[in-house]
Amino acid sequence: MPSKHTQLYKVEQYLQKNDLVYVNRATENFQLPLHNHDFIELAYVAEGKGFHHIGEEVMPVYKGLLFILPPGVSHVFRPSTPSRTSPPLIVYNCVFLPSLLVSMNEWIGGEPPIVDFLEKQLTHPSAFQSVFDSNYLIDSLFRSMLREYEQPQNGSAAYLQTLLVQLLVSIYRLMQDTNKPLLEEKASTSFGQIISDLEQHPHESVTVGQLAARCGWSERHFSRVFKQHTGQSFLQYLQHLRIKKSCELLRSPQQKISAIAEEAGYKNIDAFLTHFKRIAGMTPREYRRLVQEQKQ
């Protein structure tokens, strides 16, 4: 349930009378409030890294992540740090009404699974989905959509709708591909399983050498594949997962910060405070206070 501090953004703020789609490229900051909306939003991380506060979760984000945000989902992006000297967090946004899906379904009506996907994933008010753009096809589509939106020509409305169909079909394919092997090389343990294990147990001590051995790869090859898949080094990714875990624990006002640091995988409280401030852009106490204010 959204708190009283959550702002509602309405489609009239973005779509003019005859517009079907709104597209922009935004540099995220700490001023934008937590918000929800009465439209569908596709948000794609184009540059930088930071956090996505979405529903009851706080997720580390990096280039290539796309979020499907149905109407009613509360969220806001935050950069890793408020410092102006740090690389900015830049997100593409595509906004449209659920009613647009009706006409678009006619374009791809011969593919019932895709139509069902559109209706379920893009309109269910209590769910959101994210997908990683491993080959940066979605990045290219967003660039084309933004260019067409900002520099309209004859037939731009139809062209934008065509690009949106391509975007949605591409998202559908990526989500289906998550169940397929990520790499052609055979491995004793799938790379996807290792990523899943890290996300579920970020507090456990593990090295690149141990993970590479599970796959039957060299450390160099594992590190290269890991960076290609996540956009981050192993240590960067692990630190983001641990800070995400600590953010979840900080939602409880009872647990001590020192205990949270240890539960998140930090044996040294000073290291925890340093990493938290660098990644979240605030101290754990400041984050806890912000969360409690939003609940009021």
Predicted pLDDT at 90: 94
Cα atoms in the 13 Å half-sphere on the side-chain side of 92 = 23
Per-residue pLDDT, 183 = 37
Rounded CA separation 159/162 (Å): 5
Residue 2 pLDDT: 45
Q: Which pLDDT score, from 0 to 100, does residue 126 have?
A: 59
pLDDT recorded at residue 274: 93
Whole-angstrom CA distances from 269 to 41, 59, 126, 181, 284 are 38, 22, 36, 39, 11
The predicted pLDDT at position 44 comes to 95
pTM beyond cutoff 0.75: no
What CA–CA distance (Å, rounded) separates 189 from 167? 32
Q: What's the DSSP call for residue 157? A: H
Are 201 and 218 in contact, with CB atoms under 8 Å apart? no
Q: Which domains does the chain have, with CATH numbers?
A: 7-177 (2.60.120.280), 191-295 (1.10.10.60)
Through-space distance between the first and last CA atoms of the chain, rounded to whole angstroms: 12
Using 70 as the pLDDT threshold, list the residues of the chain that sit under it: 1-5, 17, 106-113, 125-127, 134-135, 177-190, 295-296
Angle at 146 between CA 140 and CA 152, to 5 degrees: 130
Q: Helices in 43-87 by DSSP H: which ranges? A: none
